Amino acid sequence: MKEWKRLLKSFSFAWEGIVFTFKNEKNMKIHCAVALFVCMTAWLFGLSKTEWFIILIAIGVVLSLEMMNTAIERVVDFVAPEFHPLAKIAKDVAAGAVFVFAIISAIIGAIIFFPHFMALIS
Ligand SMILES: Nc1ncnc2c1ncn2[C@@H]1O[C@H](COP(=O)(O)OP(=O)(O)OP(=O)(O)O)[C@@H](O)[C@H]1O
């Protein structure tokens, strides 16, 4: 019983982290809006299971990276509230990680949706 309570508590802390990121990070709102749009388009095009699988992984990784970026930003602000070159590197590298995977996800989306879009207009 105690184990269950501990597990539920850890889920609720994780949920608090998700809500915090969504409320405080503009980029997270943008990622969520794009993810919703992509899922609706995928549903309309009737993507295969494999295509859904790839798209959901891309969405999951982008959202998770944005949350890791937010966590790193907050830790950096906590330990280095003043300007510091290492704080800059930590924040820039974390933001870069999100950017790299967001670009890769856009390419993945283009590769998956392009044939469906061409089939629709031809
Ligand atoms: N303590 C610091 N020392 C050095 N440079 C910093 C510091 N804090 C922020 N920076 C620089 O300013 C940039 C913006 O930092 P900020 O904390 O405003 O994050 P952000 O890029 O606005 O993130 P987001 O928009 O995702 O919240 C960082 O990427 C970094 O280059």
Cα–Cα distance for residue pair 105/98, rounded to 1 Å? 10
Would residue 51 show up in a list of annotated catalytic residues for this protein? Answer: no
| Interface TM-score (ipTM) > 0.95 | no
- Indicate which atom in ligand 1 lies nearest the CA of residue 91: 29
Asked if residue 28 lies in contact with residue 74, where contact means CB atoms within 8 angstroms, the answer is no
Q: Mutate which of 65, 72, 88 to test ligand 1's pocket (most atoms within 8 Å of Cβ)? A: 88
% of the chain with per-residue pLDDT over 90: 96
Question: If one looks up domain 2-121 in CATH, what number appears?
Answer: 1.10.287.3610
The whole-model pTM stands at: 0.92
- Indicate which atom in ligand 1 lies nearest the CA of residue 83: 3
Ligand 1: residue whose CA is nearest its atom 15: 91
For the segment 100-121, what is each residue's pLDDT rounded down to a tens digit? 999 999 999 999 999 999 999 9
The answer for residues whose C-beta is within 8 angstroms of residue 113's C-beta and 6 or more apart is 41, 42, 45
Kindly list the domain boundaries of the chain, sorted by start residue.
2-121
